[in-house]
Chains A and B, each alone.
Chain A
Amino acid sequence: MLEPGSEETRVRDIATVRVDQIGGTIAALSDVVRTFGHIERRHMEIVADVFNLTVAEIRGIVSFYSDLRTEPTGKRHIRICQAEACQSVGGRELTAATASRLGIGLGETAADGSVSLEAVYCLGLCTSGPSATVDGRAVPFATVEALTE
């Protein structure tokens, strides 16, 4: 018997809503990330069960899409655009300077979990780069100060 409100019940509910939808597995896994911050092995097992797929199939989907993260982000999550339009206005330098200021590399989270730095490939703000997001909020004309303070 599943406990109402338990993590397993919540994942099962999230997946069940999506089971007949177009792209349902991806939508369900995106919902798991939205709810729990990342996807754990036990979440994949539940989603696999609901969709009548193997855990390997679900893991294959998770590993394909960059939003379907399997590690938690830092408390503050910074994404810096690595694509060409931002490169043309100092995106590489911004990335290096931000990484150095935070003491972590691209794709890493600080040991204390306070901040994580991630690459993103185009935010559609290509006239106003370098672009970044901080906790999902768009930052055009990004500077090290704007991202780290």
Chain B
Amino acid sequence: MSVAKVPRETLAIALGADELASELAQAGHEVVRTGSCGLCWAEPMIDIDGIAYGPVTDLADLEAARLGPVDTLPDLARQERRVFDRCGRADPFDYDPAWLCSQLERDPVEMIGEIEASGLRGRGGAGFPAHIKWRTVHDTPADQKYVIVNADEGDSGTFADRLIMEGDPFRLIEGMLLAGRAVGADKGIVYLRSEYPLAAEIFARAIASARNMGLLEAFDMELFVGAGAYICGEETSLLESLEGKRGEIRAKPPVPAIAGLFGKPTLVHNVITLCAVPDILESGGANYAALGVGASTGTMTFQLAGNVKKGALIELPFGVSLRALIEDWGGGTRSGRPVGAVQVGGPLGAYLKDEQLDTPMTYEALAAIGAGVGHGGIVVFDETVDLVLQAHYAFAFCAHESCGKCTPCRIGAVRGKETVEAFMASAQGDDELAIIRDLCDVMEQASLCQMGGMTPIPVRSALGLK
């Protein structure tokens, strides 16, 4: 009997994957529900006996959607899939825990050494070296320690956390258990945003499945679903939220690694950071560090989004250029017009112009042009983009999402929004630009967290301010 793999993933389902699965089952195929392999442009993408088809709209005309053998599909085979190697290839619940169990016997200090050797940095946005957090939590004496997963993936243009939690939830469970072993924590919590209901359902089922396999005896975990607040992706706001409070950020220090959830040492990582850990511990930190460029080691899960023909998750070593991602992988804009601007790294990321697109995607090269990798989201705009409107949105979004704790962010964002409006209405605009420039300096230097501190990045880059 032929085997048909059909994604059970939010986008694919919204585009008809459930109906395709029923039709394929009725036609006599053995249907396996997998995750998405991340080629979103091809969804619903199905795999029948190793041949990929997508986007499939009509099973009667399957050949029209034929992409070729899935194992040699260039859009997948040319990637370096360390985190997403399993995602989209199998039923995520068809999981063999043997490898994980063998790893949980390892020596914690040796494990932290491998993380250090790998050069792994946080994939949530800040890019902080992971091993420093691990060692700090490990070395801080306490009766209780936590591993907390930040799955509050609120950046527009990003969906990597959602894809892995829907398509390979055990990869995250592995990362959490391994991190728990290394730092000496026995409790894990995943903070997931409420906009991802299918990820919540699948991950909750994976936790139950892991518990049935006996994997959660030394380290238990639970899923917490947020209630709609972008700022809760900021780690201290997330901790406040987990304590049942308003998600108002905390001043640092102390860092969460020393005094985090309920004042206990807490390892807080983004989903993808923890999902990189199994590969690092299996293939070795040095092996992972051999990928990438300089201090940007390993792979990044780039997410091509917005006005792009072939939107997808592309996992590649750091160093690929934005232009290669947008043109070679993404096929240019969806509208067919020239690229007007590219926002890299979410709503707090810079708007880059055409002449900056040859910048290699590394933490260092992007920092050098006033930008950042963020969580790997790349939002393409065509030439019709109105960058003044985008600067207005950056302030408006900050005003909407500010937790209100510090004045530069709470008031600055509102004044910024008003001043961009005045700029749009004025003939000259020099006075308004001077105020915006000043406001950006204040927000950048005096905000308590990166919400207010980084809002100047999209504003300045959109308006061409230095």
Q: Which residues of A contact B (CB under 8 A)?
A: 22-27, 29-30, 51, 60-61, 64-68, 81, 83-89, 120-129, 136-140
Contact = CB atoms under 8 A, between A and B. Distances in A.
A67 B385 CA distance: 31
B189 interface: yes
A85 to B, nearest CB: 4
A23 B197 contact: no
A75 to B, nearest CB: 20
A84 B246 contact: no
B246 A129 contact: no
A126 B306 contact: yes
A136 B197 contact: yes
A25 B244 contact: yes
B241 interface: yes
Interface string B388-419: 00100100010011010000000000000000
Interface of B: 10-11, 13-15, 40-41, 43, 153-159, 162, 189, 194-197, 222, 224-230, 241-248, 261, 303-308, 311-312, 334-335, 343, 347, 377, 379-382, 385, 390, 393, 397, 400-401, 403
Nearest to B247: A64
A120 B397 CA distance: 11
A126 B15 CA distance: 14
Given A126-B311, A127-B308, A84 B10 contact: no
B311 A67 contact: no
A123 B195 CA distance: 6
17 contacts: A22-B189, A27-B224, A30-B225, A64-B229, A65-B228, A65-B247, A84-B393, A85-B156, A88-B306, A89-B335, A123-B195, A124-B10, A125-B14, A126-B305, A127-B11, A127-B311, A129-B306
For the complex of A and B, list the 8 residue pairs with the smallest distance between their C-beta atoms, beginning with the closest. A127-B311, A83-B156, A126-B305, A65-B227, A66-B228, A88-B306, A127-B40, A67-B228
A124 B400 CA distance: 19
B14 A140 contact: yes
Contacts of A89: 306-307, 334-335
B229 A122 contact: no
A84 B387 CA distance: 11
Given A66-B227, A126-B158, A126-B311, A84 B347 contact: yes
Nearest to B155: A122
A143 to B, nearest CB: 14
Contacts of B230: 121
Contacts of A29: 227
Contact of A87 (B15, B377, B393): B393
A98 to B, nearest CB: 18
Contacts of B224: 22-23, 27
A136 B200 CA distance: 14
Given A128-B11, A140-B11, A120 B195 contact: yes
A138 B10 contact: yes
A124 B196 contact: yes
Nearest to A137: B14
B352 to A, nearest CB: 13
Nearest to A68: B227
A91 B336 CA distance: 18
Given A88-B379, A127-B312, A138-B11, A24 B244 contact: yes
A30 B194 CA distance: 10
A61 B225 contact: no
A81 B401 CA distance: 15
B382 A88 contact: yes
A36 B228 CA distance: 18
A133 to B, nearest CB: 9
Contacts of B162: 124
Contact of A124 (B158, B241, B397): B158
Given A22-B224, A25-B244, A67-B194, 10 more contacts: A27-B225, A61-B246, A66-B228, A83-B397, A84-B306, A85-B305, A85-B379, A126-B157, A127-B303, A129-B305
Nearest to A125: B11
B245 A85 contact: no
B11 to A, nearest CB: 5
A10 to B, nearest CB: 19
Nearest to A86: B156
B307 A65 contact: no
Contact of B157 (A22, A68, A85): A85
B125 to A, nearest CB: 14
A61 to B, nearest CB: 6
Most chain B CB atoms below 10 A, which of A60, A87, A124: A124
Nearest to A129: B306
A68 B241 CA distance: 13
A26 B241 contact: yes
Most chain B CB within 10 A, of A23, A86, A127, is at A127
Contacts of A68: 227-228
